[in-house]
């Protein structure tokens, strides 16, 4: 037998059967309402059709506890939905914020395959955040800050702790009439995936794919659970016009005058500190309820609660700072070291037409900065609005009636008449009126329910003196100002589970 010829190259070692990639888990963001409940019932009815395992072992129902859900929504899910999930051993996870700071982390309130109840609240409720801030829910850049802070942020960080870098499928309950919301959500997730350089999660919208609008969703849930389901939203939600009709919303408030009074108290405190800051922007919840005599019991409950609440006199100072024009950002970059007049004031169309820069570009080839001195008034457009800074200091505490009498006495001492808010009808002692343009400043004293935090940023008093020539507050605060350092989450977020604390990588900010 001839000797074996030497191998030209090393052969790879034999391998076993190829391993299939792990199937991504499916996470249903469960908001307790009709849309997400309908999806849940669809999954229970035919899991394989929706890409799930027959035993639903790859499904996680994830709920963010805001602390201010309607009790009727909690009861509906407890009675009719949770028993179905427990019977099929579906995993249900409930999470909530731990505190006011992101670095306080996320608390896992419950993680079970036999869940019996939805938690009413966690350690830090949405209403806690709003009341201490003296405000109401708002929109920022087209997004609801309350939803981002108490739902999206909590759910995202739990997912990082749960899955690490493994992708998962995220199911959202948008119905067929909310295609624009679905498209916006998809774009946001695509951007997050692109920035991460990997697939964090893939969004899924079963109701849109099934062509089910809101009416079809409600009919589907009613047919399977035997009771109509109400919209799920916070009791004081200013977007209740989207969540439910005005008639339905006011009917729920009449059923629970105690919760209605809480919402009205929040709005009252917010408008006391900032007149335009009502729940519905140009109109207040109080104004809407007062239009219907059927709401008289609700308004009475609110007035009684207002009379019983401890009150404070707050000295509110506000600075309206100038912003930067597009010209300034273009020519001076992120920081403007030597501002020109056109850095804070828009150039008029006439100025741009008649005072164009000679040559059109500088030596480097970039568009040259404007050379107009702004002497001609026709060149100057409107000043650009920048940030508004607010200082709130408590200068007196006591019962409501005494607070109002004290405010009246101090107005007489100052020689300044009280002025009543146009919408709120709340009296204020304005000792500094806001001027035109930017920068501008205003200051007043107002009586409101106790609860808003004392605050002003460290540089506020320096800027206040620079703009107004005044130093500090006019009345002595009842307590020293506590500066809470801003603890920015950069690398780790604590996710607190029943078994202990796990530090996990944080998501990048959008």
- The half-sphere exposure of 29 on its side-chain side, counting CA atoms within 13 A, is 23
Q: What is the mean pLDDT of the chain?
A: 88
Contacts of 252 (CB under 8 A, 6+ apart): 70, 72, 230, 235, 244
The reported pLDDT for the residue numbered 277 is: 93
The reported pLDDT for the residue numbered 142 is: 55
Residue 1 has pLDDT above 50, yes or no: no
Residue pLDDT, tens place only, 354-399 = 886 654 444 444 567 888 888 888 888 888 889 999 999 999 999 9
Residue pLDDT, tens place only, 47-100 = 999 999 999 999 999 999 999 999 999 999 999 999 999 999 999 999 999 998
Contacts of 235 (CB under 8 A, 6+ apart): 68, 69, 70, 252, 256, 259, 260, 262, 263
The reported pLDDT for the residue numbered 48 is: 97
The reported pLDDT for the residue numbered 209 is: 94
The model's confidence at residue 424, banded by pLDDT at 50, 70 and 90, is: very high
The reported pLDDT for the residue numbered 363 is: 47
The reported pLDDT for the residue numbered 352 is: 85
**Secondary structure string (H, E, C) spanning 164-195:** CCCCEEEECCCCHHHHHHHHHHHHHHHHHHHH
Using the Cα atoms of residue 455, residue 458, residue 462 and residue 467 in order, give the sign of their dihedral: negative
The reported pLDDT for the residue numbered 21 is: 58
Residue pLDDT, tens place only, 224-240 = 999 999 999 999 998 75
Percent above pLDDT 70 for the chain: 87
Q: Which of 176-190, 250-264, 491-505 has the highest mean pLDDT?
A: 250-264
The model's confidence at residue 246, banded by pLDDT at 50, 70 and 90, is: confident
The model's confidence at residue 502, banded by pLDDT at 50, 70 and 90, is: low
* Phi–psi pair at 77, nearest 5 degrees: -70, -40
What's the CA gap between 100 and 291, in Å, rounded?
36
The reported pLDDT for the residue numbered 8 is: 42
Report the chain's C-alpha Rg in angstroms: 29
Q: What is the mean pLDDT of residues 138-150?
A: 74
Q: Which of 16-20, 27-31, 432-436 has the highest mean pLDDT?
A: 27-31
Q: For residues 119 and 65, is the Cβ–Cβ distance under 8 A? A: yes
Using the Cα atoms of residue 179, residue 137, residue 434 and residue 472 in order, give the sign of their dihedral: negative
Residue 492 has pLDDT above 80, yes or no: no
Q: What is the mean pLDDT of residues 311-323?
A: 96
The model's confidence at residue 196, banded by pLDDT at 50, 70 and 90, is: confident
The reported pLDDT for the residue numbered 11 is: 45
The residues pairing with 440 across neighbouring beta strands, listed in sequence order, are 320
The tokens for 113 are 């395959």
Question: Which residue from 337, 335, 347, 334 is spatially nearest to 373, judged by alpha carbons?
Answer: 347
What's the CA gap between 239 and 456, in Å, rounded?
29
């Amino acid at each position: 037998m001839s000797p074996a010829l030497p191998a030209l190259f090393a052969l790879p070692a034999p391998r076993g059967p190829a391993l299939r990639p792990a199937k991504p888990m499916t996470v249903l963001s469960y908001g307790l309402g009709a849309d997400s409940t309908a999806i849940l019932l669809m999954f229970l009815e035919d899991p394989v059709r929706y890409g799930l395992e027959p035993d639903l072992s790859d499904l996680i129902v994830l709920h963010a506890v805001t602390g201010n859900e309607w009790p009727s929504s909690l009861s509906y899910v407890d009675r009719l939905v949770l028993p179905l999930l427990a019977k099929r051993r579906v995993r249900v996870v409930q999470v909530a914020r731990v505190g006011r700071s992101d670095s306080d982390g996320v608390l896992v309130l419950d993680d079970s395959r036999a869940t019996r109840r939805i938690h009413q609240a966690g350690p830090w409720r949405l209403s806690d955040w709003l009341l201490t801030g003296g405000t109401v829910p708002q929109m920022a850049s087209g997004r609801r800050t309350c939803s981002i802070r108490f739902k999206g942020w909590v759910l995202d960080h739990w997912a990082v702790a749960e899955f690490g870098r493994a992708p998962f499928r995220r199911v959202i309950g948008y119905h067929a009439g909310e295609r624009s919301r679905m498209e916006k959500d998809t774009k946001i997730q695509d951007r997050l995936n692109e920035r991460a350089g990997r697939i964090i999660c893939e969004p899924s919208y079963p109701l849109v794919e099934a062509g089910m609008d809101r009416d079809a969703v409600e009919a589907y849930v009613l047919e399977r659970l035997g009771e109509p389901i109400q919209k799920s939203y916070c009791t004081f939600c200013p977007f209740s016009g989207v969540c439910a009709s005005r008639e339905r919303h006011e009917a729920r408030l009449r059923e629970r005058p105690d919760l209605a009074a809480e919402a009205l108290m929040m709005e009252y405190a917010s408008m006391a500190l900032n007149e335009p800051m009502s729940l519905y922007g140009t109109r207040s919840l109080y104004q809407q309820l007062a239009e219907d005599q059927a709401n008289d019991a609700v308004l009475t409950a609110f007035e009684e609660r207002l009379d019983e609440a401890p009150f404070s006199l707050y000295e509110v100072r506000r600075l309206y700072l100038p912003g930067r024009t597009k010209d300034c950002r273009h020519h001076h970059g992120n920081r403007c070291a030597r501002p020109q007049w056109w850095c804070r004031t828009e150039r008029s169309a006439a100025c741009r037409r008649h005072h164009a820069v000679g040559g059109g570009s500088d030596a480097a080839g970039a568009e040259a900065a404007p050379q107009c001195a702004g002497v001609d008034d026709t060149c100057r457009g409107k000043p650009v609005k920048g940030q508004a800074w607010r200082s709130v200091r408590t200068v007196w505490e006591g019962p409501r009636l005494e607070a109002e009498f004290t405010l009246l006495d101090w107005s007489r001492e100052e020689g300044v008449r009280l002025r009543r808010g146009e919408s709120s009808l709340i009296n204020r002692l304005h000792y500094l009126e806001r001027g035109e343009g930017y920068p501008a400043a205003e200051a007043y004293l107002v009586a409101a329910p106790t609860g808003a935090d004392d605050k002003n940023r460290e540089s506020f008093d320096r800027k206040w003196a620079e703009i107004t020539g005044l130093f500090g507050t006019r009345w002595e605060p009842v307590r020293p100002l506590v500066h809470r350092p801003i603890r920015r989450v950069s690398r780790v977020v604590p996710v607190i589970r029943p078994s202990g604390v796990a530090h996990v990588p944080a998501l990048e900010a959008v």
